[in-house]
Amino acid sequence: MNERYARQELVKICKLLYDRQLTVSAGGNMSVKINDSEILITPSGRNKGMLEPEDLVLIDSKGKVLSEGKPSIEHKFHLALYNMNFDTRAVVHCHPLHCVTLAVKGEKIKSNITPEGVLLLGDVPMIGYFTPGSKKLVEAVAAVGDHKAILMERHGAITQGRTLEEAYNRMEELEFQARLQLLCGDVEDLPKREITKLSKM
């Protein structure tokens, strides 16, 4: 992917996440892999709805900064996901209200109550609470890094995808499922046979 185009697309996704209230203030971080060794990531401490293409920070696959700016303190779990999943080209980390509500309550997201949840998300693990930016958080994310979406206790959510759009769609769907779960209360999953069928699609 061309760097200039990638900068424009990542900023577009950041603004969309902000407009959809999937992230607020300076919370969250988003990245996109532009080639096998370079990644664009959002800068530390900036409102995601106010970013310009030139604000994004270019880093290599080991975390070395290749441009102006300071990358998000969470860049190491982005790198962990890229380095362990060849198909992952984009990572989105946000603090969506309903996802965080479940994460604060310690309730696992039920992603098997609608077909879209099964198709877009699959099983969504929730890792324990670890200080943002810490090595322990990176290790915890990596331990479940083969999942499309991850919830972090008292923190937020992570999604990954083959494209920025796919990673974004998974975050939007994750928040929808969390809100649906909170509205519906105790509800049964789809039948196991249907979940298996959908998972293979």
Q: What is the pLDDT of residue 185?
A: 87
pLDDT along the chain (201 residues), means of 10: 93 96 93 96 95 97 93 96 96 97 95 93 96 96 98 97 97 97 91 90 84
Q: What is the pLDDT of residue 175?
A: 98
Q: What is the pLDDT of residue 181?
A: 95
Beta-carbon neighbour count of residue 17 at 10 Å? 22
What CATH number labels 3-199? 3.40.225.10
Q: What is the pLDDT of residue 99?
A: 97
Where do the domains of the chain lie? 3-199
Q: What is the pLDDT of residue 173?
A: 97
DSSP assignment of 126-170: EE----TT-HHHHHHHHHTTTSSEEEETTTEEEEEESSHHHHHHH
Q: What amino acid positions are annotated as catalytic residues?
A: 74
Q: What is the pLDDT of residue 34?
A: 95
Structure tokens at 49: 């709805």
